[in-house]
Structure 1
Amino acid sequence: MSKPPLLFFIVLAIIAVLATRQFIKQRRETAVNDASPVRTLMVKVKTKREYPSPNRRSRQREVIAGEEMRYEAWFHPLNGASDIKAIVGERDYNQMDTGAQGELKMQGSRFVSFTPAQ
């Protein structure tokens, strides 16, 4: 049997380094979010969209029944600050309407809740 080529080990090392870096980045972001206070902003729902989760994306363009979806919403603060993108749950996504104004609660970059104004 021949020895595996050096290139194979280099590619494995690169994959391991990149995976470790991504894991550390996610852990750090979670720690920052957990340590951040919950902030409340008055916002308007600018737009929202749903799409297949990146880790379950198929090569086809149509949505497959039972496929895991990801929900995202863009909020525009009424104080004129820059837009905020948040990953939201399906229940929250279905309850918010584009153009609706209300109170957005965020903890760091983590979405907590959106309550429409009455």
Structure 2
Amino acid sequence: MKPPLIFFITLAIIAVLATRQFIKQRQEVAVNDASPVRSLPVEIKDKREVSTSALRSRQRENIPVETMRYEAWFHPLNGAGDFKLVLKASDYHQLARGEKGELQVQGTRFIAFRPR
């Protein structure tokens, strides 16, 4: 019995989208690596933890796995627009809303935050 054509079309679409996302991530990493480290005076506007759930299969049982993504919004004190960065948990927990300080970034990569 032949699988239906829609099955192959769905697989092709998934493969194309996955490849596109992989290339986009690799390009962002390359741009960040090539960017200089910049320091900006900022205020921490907001921060949040985003839960991403997934199922991991292990010998006939599905185990729910929850991972967290940590985000913070920064307001440059020079008047530029607010921007969001994704952080590691250890960096995220050291930040407080409303805190002002010096933010170091490399492209879109968080390097450090030093409060004033």
Q: Which range moves more in the overlay, 87-96 or 104-113?
A: 87-96
What amino acid sits opposite 1:8 in the alignment?
Answer: F
**Cα shift at 1:45:** 0.4
Q: Aligned Cα RMSD in Å?
A: 1.5
What is the match of residue 27 of structure 1?
A: 26
1:50 aligns with 2:56: no
**Cα shift at 1:8:** 0.8
Question: 5+ unaligned residues in a row in structure 2: which ranges?
Answer: 56-64
**Cα shift at 1:87:** 0.7
Q: Which runs of 4+ in 1 moved over 3 A?
A: none
Give, in whole Å, the separation in 1 of the partners of 2:32 and 2:19: 20
What is the match of residue 104 of structure 2?
A: 105
Question: 5+ unaligned residues in a row in structure 1: which ranges?
Answer: 59-65
Q: Which range moves more in the overlay, 66-75 or 108-117?
A: 66-75
Query: How does the TM-score come out when normalised to structure 1?
Result: 0.85
**Cα shift at 1:89:** 1.3
Residue deviations 1:49-75 (CA, integer Å, cap 9, x gap):
1121x3x358xxxxxxx8422111000
Give, in whole Å, the separation in 1 of the partners of 2:7 and 2:25: 27
Q: Higher strand share goes to which structure?
A: 2
Query: Aligned residues: percent identity?
Result: 64
